[in-house]
Structure 1
Amino acid sequence: MSLIEPFAGLRPAPGRAADIAAPPYDVMNAAEARRMVEGRPWSFLHISRPEVDLPEGIDPYSPTVYAKAQENLQTMLAEGVLIRDSAPCYYVYRLTMGTHQQTGLVASASVAAYDADRIKKHEFTRPVKEDDRVRQIEALNAQTGPVFLVYRATAAIDDVLAAISATAAEVDVTAADGVRHELWTISDAAQIAQLTAAFDALEALYVADGHHRSAAASRVAAARRAANPVEATAHQGFLAVIFPHDQMQILDYNRVIKDLHGMTVDGLMNHLSVAFAIEGSATPVKPARPTEFGMYLAGHWYRLTLDPARIPHDDPVARLDVSLLQDNVIAPLFGIHDPRRDDRIDFIGGIRGLEALVKRVDSGEMAVAFALHPTGMSDLMAVADAGEVMPPKSTWFEPKLADGLVSLVLD
């Protein structure tokens, strides 16, 4: 199988994209999802978060929820709100958020390449979330949440996508958060072959976001191969949107901690001074470079600059800012050794701004906040190339892909 293949996408009928497009299923809680579907009977959240149509408090992993997703999908198909293309295509997908713009390709990415680590991962997955996506795929017989992949930018791909997206878009929707989503169909056989060959020439693709979705797709494919080894169908690929690495926008992923672990404010400052140069700031500190951190403590902002001797430059994971903060501050000073499971720490995406850190501390809910410089795309790829795993909550990608604009049916 090629690294990517075209597929006959399941898409909104003409004029319906604005009614259907929805944020990714995992960026809101149940109450927020219920509010989002008010007055929107065709929102894709009725498929991706079907508990919105069931009694409040229902277990989101109940078989009833997956059955409701399948029922809602069938209703949208029967009403002609969703329709399927008649032949395999690629799709160009452009996201615009303020002055930032990124243009990628919607394709079926090879499960075989994923299993062979030619599509590289950088995060652990949680079994409960993987199981959820497996049940969703099986209930719908479709993959509806795209995996966000990245390729090393190359003119052989970038120039084709730029030329196609220079024409008028078939779908042009601006979401409630102000992000613009545009889509173009590539049905020309020569262009499809050109893009397939250009991607096949790449050494690797990288999972930026969607580790649970890609892992679930691999599990579904393996189960279906075992049940019918001779059948070669669309379940051998997974729904992906693939962007060039130099167009990515990674925001900071900041930390807040509930208590000072028995330390006084002065005691914490003394401990920090062993590893950091500390400078007070009259304004919020948004780190301008790696190894620089902002800290909000007791109503004041500080700039912390790590001693260069503490940076392990030859280790792609240990040299990340999220690792440096964890290894020099969060674990030794606060006793938080497993940030995945310790409820004394929380994480705030940079899209919420530094004011979100101030609010959590000033409210008394948290005792201290740390602002980080965003992880670089080159750092993510270096970790994946080394076969390593990034610490939890290392990257926050913006803008987010929409659900519902293109889905992959498993024939």
Structure 2
Amino acid sequence: MAIIKPFKAVRPTKDKVAYVTSRSYQEYSMDELEATLNYNPFSFLHIINPGYKFSKEVTGEERFNLVHNRYLEFLEGNIFLKDSKDSFYIYQIEKGKFKCCGFFCAASVGDYRNDIIKKHEDTLSSREQLFAKYLKTVGFNAEPVLMTYADDINVKEILDLEKQKEPEYLFTTPDKIKHTLWMVSNEDSIKGLVREFAKIKSLYIADGHHRSASSEVLANISQMENPTHTGNEPYNYFMCYLIPESEIRIYEFNRMVKDLNGLTKEEFLIKLDALFRIEKKGNVLYKPTKKHHFSMYLDGDFYSLFLRKKVYGFTDGLSKLDTQILYKTILDPILGIKDLRSDNRIHYGYGKHNVIRMKDEIDHGNFKVGFSLVPLKVDEIKSIADAGLVMPPKSTYIEPKLRSGMAIYEF
């Protein structure tokens, strides 16, 4: 069953936490990134952009070493502190009407190997190896793997009891998200959480497949290099954020394609008619409403596409996913997109207003056709993971998105 461990986190001092923690690097525009680096000396972005100090672009091993140096500077400058006691860390996020609460802990690489920690995405070996090398050089992990578990009343009772105490952090970021963190160092609560998770059959990766896989690569390398390996070393674990499955939000990724693969609009629609019941909806924004129902935007008009189930057979859980149906019926056979990861003719978009963005991109001639899907359900993700299957890339966009530098796990 699932093994979790408390750990001694490295984390920002209470007076600086709002300045230190950052969104994922990819979420910043170039202007925003430059402004943050120029005017916020405490931002975690200085650690992962170490070349900024020297006004130089750095890559590879040189960058890894400089990341390590910047990290040490944050420790030496008392921007970071290291806790003296092993703890779990409850982290609650409130964004408008969305509220979720989970906790940071160390998860077992062994559980990942033994399929107790389940995955639903493929990973690229080259990325695994590169990130493992990065982890080994810098010596820490600041971005937890987001994992879910089936809602458990006993776990909730322990967390709720701890949340009655004074929080360690309580701050709101400029994006109007409220962040609250409690340290769980009480021995009874720690033992209770460890005990309850030992009863849980499976944990499911929601976000962070490459981080998980890289942690296993790092553990394998470290074990081979350690003649006194016991299995208890920090490299045998990786940091995760565990959250009950009812508290995650799953959004869809829309698909936009640059051309019709040599077909005219009329030829394309005729090919679609063999597999879908097509209804023209005009230029008013239109979104799909249920599984196996798609919205398409083409040449100034939205279309409703209903799958003709008599001509498309369901063979397993993967074949029932809308992202797989779209690939098998349109993207591959009609539009000629074989590799959803690397083909530069296809792009993906996500977010509440992405149908509007998709329409604008197509109206401006950047893409020819776009498809909107309904979000997957958590049960669909679990069934794919339980069956050992792999979803098409960009099948889900999952929240919460965690801030980097809130809690750091050292190897």
Question: 2:379 aligns to what?
Answer: 378
Question: 1:258 aligns to what?
Answer: 258
In structure 1, what is the Cα distance between the partners aligned to 2:169 and 2:284? 42
Deviates more, 1:249-258 or 1:335-344: 335-344
Question: 2:279 aligns to what?
Answer: 279
* Alpha-carbon distance change, 32 to 53 in structure 1, aligned in 2, over 3 angstroms: farther
Q: Does 1:104 align with 2:102?
A: yes
Question: 1:186 aligns to what?
Answer: 184
Kept in 2, the 8 Å contact 1:122–1:388? The answer is yes
In structure 1, what is the Cα distance between the partners aligned to 2:152 and 2:299? 48
Question: 1:198 aligns to what?
Answer: 196
Kept in 1, the 8 Å contact 2:255–2:348? The answer is yes
* Alpha-carbon distance change, 270 to 18 in structure 1, aligned in 2, over 3 angstroms: same
Cα displacement (A) at 1:145: 1.2
Cα displacement (A) at 1:353: 2.1
* Alpha-carbon distance change, 16 to 340 in structure 1, aligned in 2, over 3 angstroms: same
Deviates more, 1:188-197 or 1:338-347: 338-347
Question: 2:354 aligns to what?
Answer: 353
Question: 1:148 aligns to what?
Answer: 146
Question: 1:245 aligns to what?
Answer: 245
* Alpha-carbon distance change, 400 to 54 in structure 1, aligned in 2, over 3 angstroms: farther
In structure 2, what is the Cα distance between the partners aligned to 1:261 and 1:52? 43
Deviates more, 1:308-317 or 1:264-273: 308-317
CA deviations over 1:113-154 (Å, ceiling 9, x no partner): 111111111111123332332232122211111111111111
Kept in 1, the 8 Å contact 2:2–2:116? The answer is no
CA deviations over 1:26-71 (Å, ceiling 9, x no partner): 4457776434433111111122343444546x354x2221111111
Kept in 2, the 8 Å contact 1:67–1:139? The answer is yes
In structure 1, what is the Cα distance between the partners aligned to 2:353 and 2:47? 27
Kept in 2, the 8 Å contact 1:95–1:179? The answer is yes
Kept in 2, the 8 Å contact 1:293–1:304? The answer is yes
Cα displacement (A) at 1:284: 1.4
Q: State how 1:32-181 maps to structure 2 within 5 Å.
A: 33-55=33-55, 58=57, 60=59, 62-181=60-179
TM, length-normalised to structure 2: 0.94
2:406 partner letter: L
Cα displacement (A) at 1:80: 0.3
Cα displacement (A) at 1:366: 0.5
TM, length-normalised to structure 1: 0.94
In structure 2, what is the Cα distance between the partners aligned to 1:26 and 1:112? 30
* Alpha-carbon distance change, 23 to 122 in structure 1, aligned in 2, over 3 angstroms: same
2:385 partner letter: A
Equivalent position SS for 1:277: strand
Equivalent position SS for 1:333: coil
Question: 2:323 aligns to what?
Answer: 322
In structure 1, what is the Cα distance between the partners aligned to 2:125 and 2:49? 19
2:398 partner letter: F
* Alpha-carbon distance change, 29 to 50 in structure 1, aligned in 2, over 3 angstroms: farther
* Alpha-carbon distance change, 361 to 36 in structure 1, aligned in 2, over 3 angstroms: farther
In structure 1, what is the Cα distance between the partners aligned to 2:367 and 2:35? 28
In structure 1, what is the Cα distance between the partners aligned to 2:406 and 2:264? 52
Cα displacement (A) at 1:309: 2.8
Question: 1:338 aligns to what?
Answer: 339
Question: 1:366 aligns to what?
Answer: 367
Kept in 2, the 8 Å contact 1:252–1:349? The answer is yes
Kept in 1, the 8 Å contact 2:128–2:217? The answer is no
In structure 1, what is the Cα distance between the partners aligned to 2:69 and 2:352? 35
In structure 2, what is the Cα distance between the partners aligned to 1:36 and 1:280? 46
Cα displacement (A) at 1:243: 0.7
What is the number of equivalent residue pairs in this alignment?
408
Kept in 2, the 8 Å contact 1:33–1:52? The answer is no
Kept in 2, the 8 Å contact 1:311–1:319? The answer is no
1:389 partner letter: V
CA deviations over 1:95-116 (Å, ceiling 9, x no partner): 2222111111110000111111
Equivalent position SS for 2:42: coil
Question: 2:301 aligns to what?
Answer: 300
Cα displacement (A) at 1:384: 0.6
* Alpha-carbon distance change, 295 to 35 in structure 1, aligned in 2, over 3 angstroms: farther
Kept in 1, the 8 Å contact 2:2–2:203? The answer is no
In structure 2, what is the Cα distance between the partners aligned to 1:354 and 1:166? 41
1:149 partner letter: M
Kept in 1, the 8 Å contact 2:100–2:400? The answer is no
CA deviations over 1:174-197 (Å, ceiling 9, x no partner): 333333322111000000000001
CA deviations over 1:350-397 (Å, ceiling 9, x no partner): 355211101211121110111111111111111110011111111101
* Alpha-carbon distance change, 337 to 92 in structure 1, aligned in 2, over 3 angstroms: same
Equivalent position SS for 1:318: helix
Cα displacement (A) at 1:299: 1.2
Cα displacement (A) at 1:229: 4.2
In structure 2, what is the Cα distance between the partners aligned to 1:336 and 1:210? 26
Kept in 1, the 8 Å contact 2:22–2:43? The answer is yes
CA deviations over 1:321-363 (Å, ceiling 9, x no partner): 1001111111111011111121111111235521110121112
Q: Does 1:235 align with 2:235?
A: yes
